[in-house]
Chain A
């Protein structure tokens, strides 16, 4: 546990009781949780190695309540941690001991389904899957589909800019979002975008998406829905060498094909998945690809032929195409149960998330094997191959002294490797606390300060989810200071009027 949170404000903790009474006046009854047992439910998110008990949890039901809670917290210098369903994997919803958790679980209504404009407006606590389910009968769906879609909230998706296996073709949350309503730390309610394609003025919608709960609390979301494709088919492709598999991915894309999904698993992942759910995966392969194509039936069958030919050229040793919906589901079964499958072969596992240029795949996998041997911990790889988004799962045992530290060290090395080859620290799970202290591998202090100046515009007192994303907290007054040098005209030799 190497990540330190900001020192709690003792004064705020001392005033806890009075603050909780004031909260109760805004959100009556069971909307305020202050007993230890109740607070335990909220002590962590999906990054369960880190836990803390907040001052209180508040579960408002109206935007007016959210606004009043935020304004009250601001007046009392109390920090606020927004929380959706708590499935985040980077610790974004980790409570602060001198702050409240503002849970959006009661914002669970679908407000409007507008087929004419092909969009849906929902409250932020609605689950990702519920949106697709609500419009399914009419032939529509909401495209971004994180594996956690049964549980995760759309507000959390906006905050994390979540992706899914279909985002290569259909984009991540930010590409499918039309509008939102948010409450600032001051209690001010602001609406961005609407039902039109482009929002006007500065792209605040774009900056809010992926802001990890640091800029505003999202209280309403409008997303685009798409007509379901008329046909879907998947290929299961096995390779004797990861280089061949990587080559196949590059060739598919170079041939002008953008599959709906293009997933890779390495040998240990294939073995774990097969042992767990008997999907019928070949066990004699070093890498397995699942390539899914969707669209009009004529297109899908033609593209499946083309991908099959490319796979042959790339020396695929296993080549199967789904002949039925049932078989397609079976191809996906192993991939989709990769996490629980790994959970069975190791007491604990730690999922990391980085993106690399696709062409660096074989190199990165080879280096990862070396790092894994160096740290003495196994690594299993599942991978959104189409967009270069890696999810290495590090196998460890939390009960074993020092294992978690070793795991974090290995994760850090792998993520630095991603950056080194031209990639980034996170493709879809966010920075949170988990990767906070690695931000320096990708950004200079100046880059990070510029990002924090955006936060100052939204939350000048720094009370909304502090301690996340940025390794060093600066006061806004300090960030605003500027040293101006009066100097000569630069590069006087250049021609000018």
Chain B
């Protein structure tokens, strides 16, 4: 009979995994379940629901570190951080709505397990760069501590990074410590209208190579821009290139002027103030411009300068999308067919990057790997790493694909 286990402590979590190990049965690990539709379906008879592992354990703003139980809702954490005018600088996306789940339900553990980072990744780093330490239960049913609770630490292997982005296939996080940073006082976004993709990538490149500390650089083709909730963007009637700057008001003012000057020759310029900027970048962060009826949604991580070329290479798949991360991140929606998927994978591969199938019908996922296929040597090494953490493959088996990462 299928069981749902709801441990309320790290030790109970360990007992739950020990039970599964003894039963030779697998567990699906669930934070709030907002990203269950991301990745392959887990081949597990039982669920391990972590919702009771919730609450902030320790947060001292001057230490720039927050420790929380793994299933603490991001909304609760963000509210606590905001009270001290701090934030997670990696701008964690809320992919709930994209994946058919409610907004603002995601948990900290889930965000780290998926290594999700928003537009500020280009300046501040990814989720994995901010995760400092954790406690987890391995697939051997052992409580394991990794990393620490201070911002600088090279004591032993950086196991915390390995757990980030492992989608619950190496261990069940029960507590995590994350670096926090001051929230900016003011934001401006410089909008340049009407650029072709290659001109946009060049413009973003110039901005990112300048000393203006650009914290967001995105390109929206006209059709995508038209769906923004920010009227300056939606009513432009043209493709939009957006450059974000954040910081103390004086500095933002100066850099705003500098960027406007830098882009003056490129096209018509507008700017977004803090409030509108927040709305705009949250849309991109959460992939909100994806059309509701998009059949397959892809996320490509590519060398930034390749962004425009990748968009061109994606065209035969008859989809649409936009660029973030100065061209280094491509969101792409297209038909859920094997042929379109092959176009996407090839475009990513040719650029030197990789493509992840974020949302798709089960039928497509049965045919097409969600995570980018790896060269044999790296795949085998990853499998051996997994065997060290979860030798019987009882944690989220199949989530990252039957092979190479899921020993099922």
Interface residues of A (CB under 8 A from B): 114-118, 139-140, 160-161, 163, 167-168, 171-172, 174-175, 184, 188-192, 194-204, 206-207, 209-211, 227-230, 250-251, 253-254, 256-258, 295-299, 302-303, 355-359, 384, 387-389, 422-431, 435, 439, 442-444, 446-448, 450-451, 453-454, 456-458, 469, 479-480, 482, 484-491, 494-497
Contact = CB atoms under 8 A, between A and B. Distances in A.
Interface stretch (B315-323, B335-343, B376-384): B376-384
Contacts of B35: none
B301 A198 contact: yes
B329 A202 contact: no
Contacts of B125: 171, 175
A296 B211 contact: yes
A298 B253 contact: yes
B154 A202 contact: no
Nearest to A490: B15
Contacts of B265: none
Contacts of B150: 355-357, 387-388, 422-424, 427
B158 A206 contact: yes
Interface in B271-289: none
A197 B329 contact: yes
A198 B389 CA distance: 23
A389 B152 contact: yes
A207 B140 contact: no
A496 B23 CA distance: 18
Contacts of B231: none
Given A118-B209, A388-B151, A444-B145, A257 B182 contact: yes
Given A200-B354, A258-B181, A489 B148 contact: no
B62 A495 contact: no
A136 to B, nearest CB: 14
A426 B147 CA distance: 11
Contacts of B251: 295-296, 298-299, 302
Interface string B2-13: 111111100010
B152 A210 contact: no
Interface stretch (B36-44, B101-109, B159-167): B159-167
21 contacts: A117-B303, A174-B161, A188-B377, A191-B378, A194-B303, A199-B354, A200-B371, A200-B374, A202-B162, A203-B115, A203-B128, A206-B158, A254-B61, A254-B62, A355-B150, A357-B149, A431-B155, A444-B145, A447-B145, A456-B384, A495-B6
Interface string B38-60: 00000000000000000000001
Contact of A298 (B142, B164, B254, B377): B254
A118 B132 CA distance: 26
Nearest to B304: A117
Contact of A442 (B5, B12, B155, B208): B155
B356 A194 contact: no
Given A423-B148, A484-B22, A202 B128 contact: no
B126 A198 contact: yes
B384 to A, nearest CB: 4
A160 to B, nearest CB: 7
Interface of B: 2-8, 12, 15-16, 18-19, 21-23, 60-65, 85-86, 115, 117, 121-122, 125-126, 128-129, 138, 140, 142-146, 148-159, 161-162, 164-166, 170, 181-183, 185, 205, 208-213, 247-248, 250-251, 253-255, 258, 301-306, 325, 328-329, 352-354, 356, 371-372, 374-375, 377-379, 381-382, 384-389, 391-392, 400, 405
B353 A355 contact: no
Binding site of B, secondary structure by majority: helix, strand, loop or mixed?
A: mixed
B129 to A, nearest CB: 5
Given A196-B354, A295-B213, A358-B63, 12 more contacts: A117-B304, A140-B209, A198-B121, A200-B374, A203-B162, A207-B162, A253-B182, A299-B251, A429-B154, A431-B154, A480-B388, A491-B12
Contact of A358 (B62, B122, B210, B253): B62
A201 B352 contact: no
A387 B152 contact: yes
A436 B170 CA distance: 26
A469 B61 CA distance: 32
A210 B148 CA distance: 14
Nearest to A194: B352
Contacts of B400: 201
Contacts of B209: 115, 118, 139-140, 227
Contacts of B85: 256
Q: Which 7 A-B pairs have the closest CB atoms?
A: A206-B161, A299-B251, A453-B388, A256-B182, A490-B15, A457-B384, A116-B305
Nearest to A486: B22
Given A201-B374, A447-B146, A482-B391, A355 B152 contact: yes
A253 B84 CA distance: 11
Binding site of A, secondary structure by majority: helix, strand, loop or mixed?
A: loop
Contacts of A489: 3, 5, 19
Given A256-B183, A443-B156, A458 B381 contact: yes
Contacts of A199: 354
A430 B157 CA distance: 10
Contacts of A444: 145
Contacts of B356: 200
Contact of B371 (A117, A201, A227, A435): A201
Nearest to A197: B328
A253 B385 CA distance: 38
A190 B381 CA distance: 9
Contacts of B354: 196, 199-200
Nearest to A247: B62
A118 B182 CA distance: 26
B378 A494 contact: no
Contacts of A458: 381, 384
Nearest to A449: B142
A203 B161 contact: yes
Contacts of B389: 450, 453
Contact of A484 (B8, B21, B64): B21
Nearest to B60: A359
Given A192-B378, A227-B209, A446-B143, A426 B155 contact: yes
Contacts of B258: 296
A250 B62 contact: yes
Nearest to A444: B145
Contacts of B21: 482, 484
A115 to B, nearest CB: 7
A248 to B, nearest CB: 11
Nearest to B127: A198
Nearest to A303: B248
A491 B391 contact: no
Contacts of B378: 190-192, 201, 204
Nearest to B205: A116
Nearest to B404: A201
A485 B166 CA distance: 26
Contacts of A302: 248, 250-251
B352 A195 contact: yes
A451 B149 CA distance: 18
B96 to A, nearest CB: 21
Given A258-B181, A446-B142, A457-B388, A486 B4 contact: no
Contacts of B305: 114, 116-117
A290 to B, nearest CB: 18
Contacts of B6: 494-496
A196 B353 contact: yes
A210 B158 contact: yes
Nearest to B142: A446
